[in-house]
Amino acid sequence: MNILITGGAGFIGSHVVRLLVNKYPHYNIVNLDKLTYAGNLANLADVENAPNYTFVRADICDYDTILAILQQYHIDGIIHLAAESHVDRSIRDPFAFARTNVMGTLSMLQAARTYWESLPERYEGKRFYHISTDEVYGALEFDGTFFTEDTRYNPHSPYSASKASSDHFVRAYHDTYGMPTIVTNCSNNYGAYQFPEKLIPLFINNIRNRRPLPVYGKGENVRDWLFVEDHARAIDTIFHSGRVAETYNIGGFNEWRNIDLIKLLIATVDRLLGNPEGHSIDLITYVTDRPGHDLRYAIDSTKLKNELGWQPSLQFEEGLERTVAWYLNNQEWLDNVTSGEYMQYYDQMYNNSNTSNPQ
């Protein structure tokens, strides 16, 4: 199989690329990424020379280039993760989210349609797998309910509105053109290689630098946390065995109030840094709430468990400790991404050429 993964230089994408490159030496894995601030080839240093791996720098909004890449690499399957992914950025610059998440997804769909419909076998053996978020469902109250695959879409932020729109386009391509599509909606991921604008890596970085920890509102919002490698395993399972035209929710049944998670995080970082207990608690700083801040997310992933046997592998405390240890052992990575140093060679390296294994 020839598989195109979009957004493979980002947080979740890099874990998916690594898993598939190592697990399926007989597949060709093409990683297509624009290398925005969130894309970092250092995330894939351990697989960049693998014979079944190719990196292509491209923008998913560039239909002609995407079509040419699908043709050049004879792509059978697409796992589409490329997106603008940070809610706070979407509040500041919603157009960027409409462009990449909506128009970019549409451009991927249309290029896949053009290429696959040009082949004698058309959609036979093909798959367009779109990675989405639980945020499209809106927010839950503190009432013990969960998002299921049948929950009505009700997005509140420009980010979640753009992801909801892209999900609708993906389903429309199945219903209108018969494209074999799958959509999954996942809860908050945590783990190595997450850009330190998101809660967990931002706070780890701030604790190690003795900077304030900005808690939005009262810190009472609830998120459902999943270890990123468990998400990557779910993506592998669903890509290979999920039913076409279906939606699967992915989550860890692991709800945490932000303030409780932050206190656990502080205790874990302090312990691993050898600080006395409670050393960094004074860094907690309550700040103005995020506009439209969704109160609670909680995913019911029973369908995925019953149909495909997937379930999370880690307890949260263990996953969080592994995550904190990774960031503390990879402070150079953190320093590079916070200074922007990792980006400075990309334009030079990929100038006028969108295909390369950077060596």
* Chain residues in the site for ligand NAD (CB under 6 A): 6-7, 9-13, 33-36, 38-39, 59-61, 81-85, 100, 104, 131, 133, 163, 186, 188-189, 195
Give the one residue of 223, 231, 233, 296 binding ligand DAU; rule: CB under 6 A. 223
- The active-site residue out of 33, 135, 149, 229 is 135
Q: Which is nearest to 129 in space by CA: 9, 24, 234, 59?
A: 234
53 is catalytic: no
Q: Is 188 in the site for ligand DAU (CB under 6 A)?
A: yes
Give phi and psi for 144, each to the nearest 5: 75, 5
| Nearest residue relative to ligand NAD (C-beta) | 10
Distance, in Å, from the CA atom of 260 to the CA atom of 263, rounded to the nearest integer, reads 5
- Non-local (6+) Cβ contacts of 144 within 8 A are none
Q: Is 226 in the site for ligand DAU (CB under 6 A)?
A: no
**How many binding residues for ligand DAU (CB under 6 A)?**
19
| 8 A C-beta contact, residue 78 and residue 92 | no
Query: Cα dist. 171→123, 164, 242, 245 in Å?
Result: 15, 11, 15, 7
| 8 A C-beta contact, residue 186 and residue 133 | yes
* Residue closer to ligand DAU, measured from CB, 290 or 305: 290
Q: Is 15 in the site for ligand DAU (CB under 6 A)?
A: no
- The active-site residue out of 73, 159, 342, 346 is 159
* Residue closer to ligand NAD, measured from CB, 126 or 198: 198
Q: How would you write 178-239 as a 3-class SS string?
A: CCCEEEEEECEEECCCCCCCCHHHHHHHHHHCCCCEEEECCCCCEEEEEEHHHHHHHHHHHH
* Least gap, CB of 221 to ligand NAD (angstroms): 14
Q: Is 300 in the site for ligand DAU (CB under 6 A)?
A: no
Give the one residue of 63, 153, 177, 216 binding ligand DAU; rule: CB under 6 A. 216
Query: Cα dist. 120→67, 115, 117, 179 in Å?
Result: 17, 11, 8, 15
* Least gap, CB of 55 to ligand NAD (angstroms): 11
134 is catalytic: yes
318 is catalytic: no
Owner of token pair 């995913």: 299
- Write out the residues near ligand DAU by the rule CB under 6 A: 85-87, 133-135, 187-188, 198-199, 202, 214-216, 221, 223, 258, 290, 297
Catalytic residues: 134-135, 159
